[in-house]
Amino acid sequence: MARWKPDARQRLVVEALTLFAEQGYDATTVAQIAERAGLTRSTFHRHFADKRDILTAGQEALSRLLAEGIAAAPADATPLDAVGAGLDRASSSLTEFNRELSPLMEAAIDANEELRDRSAMKAVGMAAAMNDALVARAVPEPQARLAAEMGVLAFGRGFQRWVGPVEGEGPGELRDRTAEAFAELRAAASGLT
């Protein structure tokens, strides 16, 4: 087995999502994923605890990037400007690999209730990371929570526009799509008062 090829983690993700699409999540085993990727089960388990973890791969990194972007925002940034900085940092880190895998990931999640629940928890984790980063900047809790939730909504809307662009348009850059979505939400929120 070709155990020392680079990008073992990415190969495991690609092959797992392909198998989920071909035969369903429940029918796919860790052994099948490892074999299809040309790796061993032990290599699989060095990267993932179980097959569910493939679908949340990168969640911790994304939450960390959001928080780091907020922390790095200028000291005088408003809470929403700080969230914008977090969104920029996180969305700048995603690559074409993430965009291309999104339809397979979405299909696997849509077909399984447990995975839908787990996906919903991803948004909760992102919001918590942004909320905590804002509170660390001395933003009061209610404002921090609201700004964080707007950030999650903007990221989701921007990501959807990136993976499924309007016909005649290219996908553009995720950071631009997310910034556009965030600007729209900020404008909509200003009309609520």
pLDDT digits (tens, 9 = 90+) for 83-118: 999 999 999 999 888 888 888 888 888 888 887 887
Q: Average pLDDT of the chain?
A: 89
pLDDT for 3: 45
Closest among 97, 89, 76 to 178, alpha carbons compared: 89
pLDDT for 114: 80
Per-residue pLDDT at 5 exceeds 70:
no
3-state DSSP assignment of residue 167: coil
- Count CB-CB contacts under 10 A for residue 38: 15
Structure-token pair, residue 178: 């997310």
pLDDT for 165: 66
3-state DSSP assignment of residue 59: helix
Domains of the chain plus CATH, in order, are: 8-54 (1.10.10.60), 58-190 (1.10.357.10)
* Assessment of whether the complete model's pTM goes beyond 0.85: no
Longest dimension (CA), the chain: 62
pLDDT digits (tens, 9 = 90+) for 179-190: 999 999 999 999
pLDDT digits (tens, 9 = 90+) for 52-77: 888 777 788 899 999 999 999 999 99
Question: What is the percentage of the chain residues whose pLDDT exceeds 90?
Answer: 59
Mean pLDDT of all residues in 29-34 = 96
pLDDT for 1: 43
pLDDT digits (tens, 9 = 90+) for 145-173: 999 999 999 999 999 999 886 676 767 88
Closest among 130, 140, 147, 126 to 79, alpha carbons compared: 147
